[in-house]
Amino acid sequence: MAADDFFEGAEKLLEIWFGHQDGKVENGDLRKIPREKYENLLKAACCEVISYTSNDEIDAYVLSESSMFVTKRRFILKTCGTTTPIECIKLFLLYVNEFTGFDEVEDVFYSRKNFERPELQKDTYRNFKLEIQTLDIIFKGTGVVRCMCSSKTNDSWYLYALQPVKCFSNEKQSPDQTLEVLMTQLDPNIMQIFTKEQSANAIQATQNSGISELLPNMKIDDFLFDPCGYSMNGIGNEGQYMTIHITPQQEFSYVSFETNVPQSSYKELISKVLKTFQPEKCVLTLFTNEKSPSKANHKELKYLTQLGEWQQDTNKTCSLKNHDLTVSFYSKYPS
Ligand SMILES: C[S@+](CC[C@H](N)C(=O)[O-])C[C@H]1O[C@@H](n2cnc3c(N)ncnc32)[C@H](O)[C@@H]1O
């Protein structure tokens, strides 16, 4: 396939948390950084804003390549294609220093699935080792690295997590959990919904696909690309978000689902997501911190060996500074 026809759906996901050395986190706010400064950052990452929505807790941007979310002290940049998110970090840290009142990086996570066509990425992003080296230089530290591989398919998932020396005490932590479902080889009939040929607009695609039913009661900002491709952000009044991105082309179809909505069990939500998109394969990741009402879910995921038509081939759990992490690989049975 010609490089021109290919689109890399798999995202690079960067999440940074900020704090204050004296522990007074109420003194800072990342949303004090002006909009044009965020646009500068996105230029460095090779993408731009195409839509925006917000409430009192969270600013959500749909980007030309995926999404950005900004809350009081957490920044999330999720970008696909051949974007370069690490390139915006130094400038971002300068803006944080200038505008927000924060003076400390509390946590950094940078993760991604293996790329379909790594050779088409720009320099640093062709090999996770180079991404790690670049992040270590920027954060002047040594990150913890996790590489999880499926025992059955050639899928893998990589994480860099910076563990700053100073830890925030448990009392200052707020509940935090993030679920991601990264899906490949999707049902072509379902993917057809995310084309201009089948759907007149994004609202139609959101409704007809069942996306609107996945986590109801969210304010949805969706976008249907021409001739195909789909992105959406959903936000809730308490700072909850969900985000879905779809590359529907059959030769390299990819869908990602991510949310921070807490659940006492994620089984039903994950099943709904898989039934909605019908992937052949998927990678599940779950991060929870000590305060999260979802923290018991790692055990549940471990024993979720069968999820409808999907069978788990690999499940790994590990502990990071403030979070537990589970990564599971599933494929449709029989594959
Ligand atoms: C931005 S969207 C969603 C990407 C996402 N990371 C995913 O999960 O696949 C990418 C899809 O939109 C299509 N697309 C159409 N116009 C585009 C544009 N101007 N920029 C980025 N993608 C575009 C791509 O071909 C691809 O199918």
Residue 287 pLDDT greater than 70, yes or no? yes
Atom number, ligand 1, closest to the C-alpha of residue 8: 9
Atom number, ligand 1, closest to the C-alpha of residue 227: 15
Pocket of ligand 1 (CB under 6 A): 7, 9, 11, 64-66, 80-81, 225, 228-229, 231, 245-249, 254-256
Quote the pLDDT of residue 111: 98
SS3 call for 70: strand
Atom number, ligand 1, closest to the C-alpha of residue 245: 8
pLDDT digits (tens, 9 = 90+) for 143-173: 999 999 999 999 999 999 987 656 555 556 7
Active site residue 292: no
Residue 1 pLDDT greater than 90, yes or no? no
Range(s) of the domain holding residue 216: 3-332
Confidence at 335, pLDDT banded by 50, 70, 90 = low
Active site residue 147: no
pLDDT digits (tens, 9 = 90+) for 68-90: 999 999 999 999 999 999 999 99
CB under 8 Å to 197, separation ≥6 — which residues? 227, 228
| Residue 130 identity | L
CB 42 within 8 A of CB 88: yes
**Which residue among the candidates 20, 228, 245, 331 is catalytic per the annotation?**
245
What is the number of structural domains in the chain?
1
Active site residue 318: no
Quote the pLDDT of residue 78: 98
How far does the centroid of ligand 1 lie from the alpha carbon of residue 10, in Å?
10
Full-model pTM: 0.96
Mean pLDDT value across residues 88-105: 96
Q: 9 versus 174: which is more confidently predicted?
A: 9
Quote the pLDDT of residue 333: 78
What integer best gives the mean pLDDT of the chain? 95
Q: How far apart are CA 19 and CA 23, in angstroms?
A: 7
Q: How far apart are CA 158 and CA 163, in angstroms?
A: 16
Atom number, ligand 1, closest to the C-alpha of residue 255: 8
Active site residue 298: no
pLDDT digits (tens, 9 = 90+) for 249-268: 999 999 999 999 999 999 99
Q: How far apart are CA 266 and CA 56, in angstroms?
A: 27
pLDDT digits (tens, 9 = 90+) for 306-334: 999 999 999 999 999 889 999 999 999 76
**Alpha helix positions (H), 100-210:** 128-139, 188-191, 202-209
**Segment holding 255, helix H or strand E:** strand 254-259
Residue 25 pLDDT greater than 70, yes or no? no
How far does the centroid of ligand 1 lie from the alpha carbon of residue 3, in Å?
15
Is the bond preceding residue 262 a cis peptide, omega within 30 degrees?
Answer: no
Residue 237 pLDDT greater than 90, yes or no? yes
Whichever domain contains 190, its CATH number is 3.60.90.10
Confidence at 142, pLDDT banded by 50, 70, 90 = confident
How far does the centroid of ligand 1 lie from the alpha carbon of residue 120, in Å?
16
**Which residue among the candidates 20, 66, 88, 294 is catalytic per the annotation?**
66
Share of the chain above pLDDT 70, in %: 95
Mean pLDDT value across residues 215-240: 97
**Which residue among the candidates 47, 80, 88, 228 is catalytic per the annotation?**
80
| Residue 272 identity | K
pLDDT digits (tens, 9 = 90+) for 173-209: 789 999 999 999 999 999 999 999 999 999 999 999 9
Mean pLDDT value across residues 237-255: 98
**Segment holding 329, helix H or strand E:** strand 323-332
How far does the centroid of ligand 1 lie from the alpha carbon of residue 272, in Å?
23
Quote the pLDDT of residue 23: 73
Residue 211 pLDDT greater than 80, yes or no? yes
Residue 120 pLDDT greater than 90, yes or no? yes
Atom number, ligand 1, closest to the C-alpha of residue 254: 9
Please give the ipTM for the structure prediction: 0.94
How far does the centroid of ligand 1 lie from the alpha carbon of residue 273, in Å?
20
Residue 66 pLDDT greater than 90, yes or no? yes
**Which residue among the candidates 111, 150, 209, 231 is catalytic per the annotation?**
231
